[in-house]
């Protein structure tokens, strides 16, 4: 039936039979992926030998843990070859995320600094100023780690931490991402803070005794030559005091502090993914004036100001175009997905079994105070007294 309709549409467009391209976007619950894929395979494939194609796009969640994700991958893998499968993660379509490769590998500035000798810690942060709002039932089955951290933030981590790929070919980039994921050490319970906002369980679709975290701070350590000992702090939460997603790279103190300016704060390189794309370097300068004193200032690239009149495409807009072009660079490969689940599955099972409990936090707050304490323990030094004066457009 569907095949007939598609064929009808194709012929109405004057295409030669079998000469069109078929893209199926599965915006469906993952439980039906295998049966839907089987039906596509059986009845709706492009029968052409004219070099045209059939592709499928699958949305997260790709499983709930390592076992279920692997089962899903095998079921779909029996029906479609890897080059036909596009596992979408919309963070990989964001402008500032796509810019990471260029920033890191097309600039001499960063090359010598991007390592454990200079960087003290890295934060990758996502927060929303609204709760689950009508999606409580869905969200409660997954929680913030499966919803945001295991996919979106981990993908960003890969791009921040990976080695330079030998080329820009999708497979070469994805090879490097997999290496990072495979180098992540097992997560320690004491390096995790979970939270649940007060009022979350008032949603009638959320069970009264839900143990699902709506907030998490998790420290990951990458066991390789570049990153050993550098905490990658992944923070995500719902119903917090503002909406933002950013990467904050904090550098070590300058050795031999002749200006005695250490207390004013460390150098930081911040890439704000949203809202309003920007990147800025917090750095020390001489306080303008007669005294030889220091003040923290910034080198600032605010996209809205720098690229006036330029429309930044939506993440999905780019990614769907990539599926049509057949470019898998910004999609998750099967082994990448497996390695991502390997990192989080033991922790997720401990939470699912009730062995780890979320700490309640007030909606509209910063989340549990324990998360900021963990950050400090990990070595993050908060800047006090830095004032940013927004440029005028």
Ligand X SMILES: O=C1O[C@H](COP(=O)(O)O)[C@@H](O)[C@H](O)[C@H]1O
Among 68, 372, 379, 381, binds ligand NDP (CB under 6 A): 372
Q: Please list, residue by residue across 377-387, b when 16 or more beta carbons sit within 10 angstroms of its beta carbon and e when fewer do.
A: ebebbeeeeee
Q: Which of residues 122-161 bind ligand X (CB under 6 A)?
A: 128, 147
Q: Whose Cβ is closer to ligand X: residue 114's or residue 200's?
A: 200
- Least distance in Å: CB of 113 to ligand NDP? 18
Catalytic residue among 90, 152, 330, 384: 152
Tokens of 94: 């964001």
Determine if 298 is a binding residue for ligand NDP (CB under 6 A). Answer: yes
User: Active-site residue 152, yes or no?
Assistant: yes
Q: Whose Cβ is closer to ligand NDP: residue 278's or residue 378's?
A: 278
Determine if 343 is a binding residue for ligand X (CB under 6 A). Answer: no
Determine if 383 is a binding residue for ligand NDP (CB under 6 A). Answer: yes
Among 74, 107, 287, 382, binds ligand NDP (CB under 6 A): 382
Q: Whose Cβ is closer to ligand NDP: residue 72's or residue 375's?
A: 375
Among 300, 335, 352, 370, binds ligand NDP (CB under 6 A): 300
Tokens of 386: 């830095």
Q: Whose Cβ is closer to ligand NDP: residue 53's or residue 280's?
A: 280
- Least distance in Å: CB of 147 to ligand X? 5
List the one residue out of 333, 175, 160 whose CA is nearest residue 234: 160
Q: Whose Cβ is closer to ligand NDP: residue 163's or residue 298's?
A: 298
Residues touching ligand NDP, count (CB under 6 A): 16
Residue number of the CB atom closest to ligand NDP: 388
Provide the annotated active-site residues. 152
> What residue ranges bind ligand X (CB under 6 A)?
90, 128, 147, 245
Which chain residues interact with ligand NDP by CB under 6 A?
123, 125, 235, 248, 270, 278, 280, 298, 300, 302, 366, 372, 382-383, 386, 388
């Amino acid at each position: 039936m569907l095949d007939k309709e598609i064929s009808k549409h194709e012929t109405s467009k004057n295409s030669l039979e079998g000469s069109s391209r078929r893209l199926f976007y599965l915006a469906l619950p993952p439980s039906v992926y295998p049966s839907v894929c089987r039906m596509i395979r059986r009845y709706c494939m492009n029968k052409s030998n004219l070099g045209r194609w059939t592709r499928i796009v699958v949305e997260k969640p790709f499983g709930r843990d390592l076992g279920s994700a692997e089962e899903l991958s095998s079921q779909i893998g029996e029906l479609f070859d890897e080059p036909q499968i596009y596992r979408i993660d919309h963070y990989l379509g964001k402008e500032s995320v796509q810019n990471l490769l260029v920033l890191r590998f097309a600039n001499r500035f960063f090359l010598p600094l991007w390592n454990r000798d200079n960087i003290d810690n890295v934060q990758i942060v996502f927060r929303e100023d609204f709760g689950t709002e009508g999606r409580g039932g869905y969200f409660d089955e997954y929680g913030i780690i499966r919803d945001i951290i295991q996919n979106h933030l981990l993908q960003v981590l890969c791009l921040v931490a990976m080695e330079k790929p030998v080329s820009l070919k999708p497979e070469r980039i994805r090879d490097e991402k997999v290496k990072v994921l495979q180098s992540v050490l097992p997560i320690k319970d004491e390096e995790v803070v979970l939270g649940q906002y007060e009022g979350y369980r008032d949603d009638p679709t959320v069970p009264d005794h839900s143990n699902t975290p709506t907030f998490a701070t998790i420290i990951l350590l990458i066991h390789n030559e570049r990153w050993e000992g550098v905490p990658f702090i992944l923070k995500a939460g719902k119903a917090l005091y503002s909406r933002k997603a950013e990467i904050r790279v904090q550098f070590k103190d300058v050795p031999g502090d002749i200006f005695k300016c250490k207390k004013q704060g460390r150098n930081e390189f911040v890439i704000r993914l949203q809202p309003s794309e920007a990147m800025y370097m917090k750095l020390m300068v001489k306080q303008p004036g007669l005294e030889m004193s220091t003040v923290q200032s910034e080198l600032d690239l605010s996209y809205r100001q720098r690229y006036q009149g330029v429309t930044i495409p939506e993440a999905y807009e780019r990614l769907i175009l990539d599926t049509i072009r057949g470019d898998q660079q910004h999609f998750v490969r099967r082994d990448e997905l497996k390695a991502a689940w390997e990192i989080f599955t033991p922790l997720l099972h401990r939470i699912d079994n009730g062995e780890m409990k979320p700490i309640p936090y007030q909606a509209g707050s910063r989340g549990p105070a324990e998360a900021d304490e963990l950050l400090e323990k990990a070595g993050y030094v908060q800047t006090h007294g830095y004032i940013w004066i927004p440029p005028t457009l």
